[in-house]
Chains A and B, each alone.
Chain A
Amino acid sequence: MSCENYEIQVSAYVDRELSDREAETLFRHLGVCPSCRKVLSDALELRSGLGEQEPLLAPEELDENVLRIVRSRRDRQPDRDAVPGSIWKRRLSLRVPVLAVAASVLVFASLVVSFLWLESTQQNGNAKVQTLFLTAVPTVEVQAYSLEPVTTIQ
């Protein structure tokens, strides 16, 4: 490996990104290469120097601006106080199985009534029981029983 490659390894070593095996190989080279040793000492000195930099603190105006806007978003959409979209996603995902269940009930109910109606017309040719269905998803509501033939269905 050339010195340039070792120098890159030095930089990665300082960042603790070398495997044990790579570090071992590097240190064997550092033992015989003053130029690469200088690269290591420069990198460590740079780290130390950057670590001494004055900390940069966020100004108070940042607090005021961010928290004010977040609060106003919350006030505008109280139901979305959780992460936007998540509450609505939960409500939407809750509706789907309810709709599916309602549709299944409708189909089943229709089949049962149809069967009963057919049976009753076969057994009793004069009396016909018709069940009027007025449906509004997801509920099924029986409005009336009529002994007279129904000519219109609303």
Chain B
Amino acid sequence: MDPARDQQLVESIRKHGSLAFVQLYHRYKHRVYAYCYRILQHPQNAEDAAQETFLKIHRFLDQLEDAGSLQSWIFTIARNEAFTLLRRTKPTEDLDDISDDVWDEHTPLDRIVAQERSELLRHCLGQLRPAYRDILVLREFEQLSYTEISQVTNLSESAVKSALFKARKSIAKKLEELLKER
């Protein structure tokens, strides 16, 4: 998450090609895979989306105009790949919608077997609608700024701010309810 190092890396790829791309790949592979996994909630789909992401990065890196925004660009591609796969499983749903309820109503909340708080939290995260989950993951796990999240998701910074607030408040409330049921 160091823009200066990312810039050096992009320059290196432009001069030296595939060898330097391998460096970029190793730097971002876990983050991209983890992001795709949290969106898709499925390891094989996450691997497929991550693979397509890196192949597109390799193919289109010369189209990146601002080397300093490498991180946002990578996650924009990853998001597109993840959401493309997600649309195959939910073809009628508007996955980008953040105007509605934060919870995914098509996935009923099962009785939680695991008692650990972290398991409950992971479960709640998985129950968010994809658009909310996406923004929360980009902020909490990838530590993108509001500006970067706005670039990746094509939402205004104000919408990002509002969505994060709604997602956090909803998870906190849901966690409290679930912990009371234990």
Give A contacts to B, CB under 8 Å: 7-8, 10-12, 15, 17, 39, 42-43, 45-47, 49-53, 55-59, 61-63, 65-67, 69-71, 73-74, 81-86, 89
Contact = CB atoms under 8 A, between A and B. Distances in A.
A74 B122 CA distance: 40
Interface string B20-55: 011001000110111001100001000100110011
Given A17-B161, A69-B55, 8 more contacts: A15-B145, A42-B168, A49-B117, A49-B121, A55-B30, A58-B32, A59-B47, A83-B61
B78 interface: no
Given A7-B169, A8-B161, A42-B168, A74 B54 contact: no
Contacts, number: 114
Given A11-B168, A74-B18, A83 B122 contact: no
Interface residues of B, number: 45
A67 B29 CA distance: 12
The 6 A-B residue pairs with the shortest CB-CB distance, nearest first, are: A58-B33, A56-B34, A42-B172, A11-B165, A81-B17, A83-B62
B118 interface: yes
Contact of A50 (B18, B141, B169): B141
Most chain B beta-carbon neighbours within 10 Å: one of A11, A63, A69: A11
B122 A53 contact: yes
Nearest to B139: A15
B31 to A, nearest CB: 9
B161 A52 contact: no
B30 A66 contact: no
A8 B14 contact: no
Contacts of B18: 70-71, 73-74, 81
Nearest to B21: A70
Nearest to B147: A17
Contacts of A85: 62
A145 B138 CA distance: 76
B140 A83 contact: no
Interface string B67-102: 000000000000000000000000000000000000
Most chain B beta-carbon neighbours within 10 Å: one of A7, A17, A52: A17
Contact of B140 (A47, A57, A61, A86): A47
